[in-house]
Structure 1
């Protein structure tokens, strides 16, 4: 990790039990950095936080047409709820994609079977498989040298406003590209209500279908439903969040923990006036930030930057 700062602590009965360090940045609706913590220009892997950017790139390239629920699933990291499986089935049927053609590994479905549709990244994979067919390219859409690699890389680079000169391999078998925290914030800003093209469509889909993004009562779904922000976590501690006015926050924890991302992003957006004061306090319990002794609150995760 690049140079980091203390972002949040977990407190219990006056003791600091854990500390989360990392980098964080806020940009205003025009794209200007208004607050930065740590080295926000260093590249890192945002992992699944890139999914909405991939979906937007495919839409802008004219390779797929996605109805809102399917654009949301393409941006999602779901938990195999029945809603997610049903949407994956419908999306695959609409786009003419066979479940066995997907590269994401099978995972356990609610009925106990193992299916690729139960994988949290399946929406992205369905969209990529359909896009590969539209390109008349080989079916191995996950390959390093596939034609889709350039489409996704260039789409992310354009949205982020910075060159991408490397790539890596995500846990689901697809590719992932490095961005800086500032670049990721610029890209996520395009998902706001005032965005354009594929980015606007994907952002609108995320706001319309919060439980497809992360599952009922899970952090991203809670934030989207309660604030109108479009937000997405990525493995190893990334959180990107664009407020309704276009102000955008990105958080990356050095320890890879997810739990600090949403509260730190919300605290930053509150501080700059992009969301109402008191939003984080109101969502402390739904986001699971309260530390308990049996059923008695004795502490909480608290942003400190």
Structure 2
């Protein structure tokens, strides 16, 4: 029986080899370590001969699911297939948005441009992801919808890409559909890996098991992508997606979201998070950071990311307010969530 079958039908049976994660962050309270977040991380640089490892911790070569950090790669595949959108809507295509009016209206605009409606979406229904956006939506009597679900921009663009190419819109999530075949090929090319397995993400799209090194390689390529053919007006799909995300970081996540702030505060940086503690960052020179927090918790993701960027000599001074989290008790600071000294761990071989 395969591992997915084991996980679905007999969760208490053998789970296979567990990743060798290490402590990446710890929370203190009153001078005592209260909580520890384990995980794995890698930083890479792209070279003509392959991908060079700059630093690592834990088990960055273990397969994992990038979750929504895969969206920029999916967006590249759609642009390659002819998707041509204004930059704000292309950024929304790669988004896990908060569900603000600009996000909902943006997804609706993508559909309208291509003669589609919300009835053509095949993602799951949900309330807005952002707490303030969710509260506002509920106060207005809103209910879970496909447009408010945080992946609606991606799904609107997937349906639009089908219209552009004359592919069936119905069934666009099927792994055998031409759209998903194109996405799979693009993911393989950009990561340099064959997925170790394929499952389904929360919104219904095919999801690939890859390594942190493979995802770092892909993000480094996107972040360093330049215009194609020496023509400043002819962007490569990779450059188009990266530039749209940088230009409209509020569409990639939302106001008050750390990924949006990270791209605003570090010029040229490309960032995307994913559920279950995933963070990807690409730098304009092709270096990249990929990390996974093993318990799926979100709070350790940004402090660890910023510590890795600091190790790469990125100026992280502007990121001080999102680099660590203060633990309060009765309104007074009594501790802090901060990265461990994970950079002393062993670095795997470069490939």
Aligned to 2:107: 88
Aligned to 1:301: 337
* Deviations 1:198-231 (CA, angstroms, capped at 9, x unpaired): 1211111111111111110111111111113211
Aligned to 2:25: 8
Aligned to 1:33: 53
8 A contact 1:192–1:242 mirrored in 2:
yes
8 A contact 1:51–1:124 mirrored in 2:
yes
8 A contact 1:233–1:258 mirrored in 2:
no
| Separation of aligned partners in 1, 2:39 and 2:244 | 29
8 A contact 2:262–2:319 mirrored in 1:
no
Q: Secondary structure of the equivalent of 1:117?
A: coil
| Separation of aligned partners in 1, 2:75 and 2:316 | 32
* Deviations 1:22-41 (CA, angstroms, capped at 9, x unpaired): 11000125341111112212
| Separation of aligned partners in 1, 2:90 and 2:65 | 22
- Shifted more, 17-26 versus 90-99: the winner is 90-99
Aligned to 2:181: 150
Alignment pair present for 1:225 and 2:264: yes
Aligned to 1:163: 194
* Deviations 1:11-52 (CA, angstroms, capped at 9, x unpaired): 222121211111100012534111111221221110100001
8 A contact 2:26–2:33 mirrored in 1:
yes
Q: Secondary structure of the equivalent of 2:223?
A: coil
Ranges in structure 2 where 5+ consecutive residues have no aligned partner:
1-17, 129-136, 228-235, 343-351
Aligned to 1:141: 172
8 A contact 2:110–2:160 mirrored in 1:
no
8 A contact 1:51–1:76 mirrored in 2:
yes
| Separation of aligned partners in 2, 1:150 and 1:122 | 20
Judged with a 3 Å threshold, the aligned counterparts in structure 2 of structure 1 residues 96 and 297 are, in CA distance, closer, same or farther, namely farther
8 A contact 1:192–1:200 mirrored in 2:
yes
**RMSD of equivalent CA atoms:** 1.8
Ranges in structure 1 where 5+ consecutive residues have no aligned partner:
none
Shift of 1:250: 0.4
- Match for 1:216 among 234, 245, 255? 255
Shift of 1:159: 0.3
| Separation of aligned partners in 2, 1:158 and 1:43 | 17
| Separation of aligned partners in 1, 2:167 and 2:105 | 28
Q: Which one has the largest radius of gyration?
A: 2
Aligned to 1:259: 299
8 A contact 2:45–2:217 mirrored in 1:
no
